[in-house]
């Protein structure tokens, strides 16, 4: 089975800090995704990537950027963290085709 690992389970950062959330998958999957999850809002897509150095904006990209220098790693960057970015962040990966996503366990980020 594909394993998706997110580097931190819990993270506390200060307003204005630059924050890096790391995600690594252990299979050769082309597609990787970053979602955030907030109560009552479900999972909302921030960015996704379908190949190395490729990226596409999701539904809520404002305040975020991403980096994919290697196929197995997809990083989410908060350029200047704000309190409204306090959330659960979920990374996922899947191969092309009708196959399911594999999600990581999530990173709960608190910005104070």
Partner 1 sequence: DAKTTQPNSMESNEEEPVHLPCNHSTISGTDYIHWYRQLPSQGPEYVIHGLTSNVNNRMASLAIAEDRKSSTLILHRATLRDAAVYYCILRDVGGYQKVTFGTGTKLQVIP
The strand pair at 87-94 and 31-38 is best described as antiparallel
Taking CB under 8 A as the criterion, which residues in 60-89 touch partner 1? none
Stretch near partner 1 under the rule CB under 8 A, chosen from 11-19, 43-51, 62-70, 79-87: 43-51
Residue 11's DSSP bridge partners are 109
Contact between 102 and partner 1 per CB under 8 A: yes
DSSP per residue over 37-103, as a string?
EETTTEEEEEEEESSTT--EE-S--TTEEEEEEETTEEEEEESS--GGG-EEEEEEEE-SSSPPPEE
Contact between 8 and partner 1 per CB under 8 A: no
Chain CA centroid to CA 6, Å: 9
Stretch near partner 1 under the rule CB under 8 A, chosen from 11-19, 67-75, 76-84, 100-108: 100-108
Task: Give me the least distance between CB of 80 and partner 1, in Å please.
Answer: 25
Interaction site with partner 1 (CB under 8 A):
4, 31, 33, 35, 40-45, 48, 50, 56, 58-59, 90, 92, 94, 96-106
């Amino acid at each position: 089975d594909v394993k998706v690992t997110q580097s931190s389970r819990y993270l506390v950062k200060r307003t204005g800090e630059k924050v890096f959330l790391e995600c690594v998958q252990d299979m050769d999957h082309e597609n990787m995704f970053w979602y955030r999850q907030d109560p009552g809002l479900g999972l909302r897509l921030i960015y996704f990537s379908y190949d190395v150095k490729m990226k596409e904006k999701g539904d809520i990209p404002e305040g975020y950027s991403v980096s994919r220098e290697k196929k197995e790693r997809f990083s989410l960057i908060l350029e200047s963290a704000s309190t409204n970015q306090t959330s659960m962040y979920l990374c996922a990966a899947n191969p092309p085709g009708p196959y399911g996503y594999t999600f990581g366990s999530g990173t709960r980020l608190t910005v104070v």
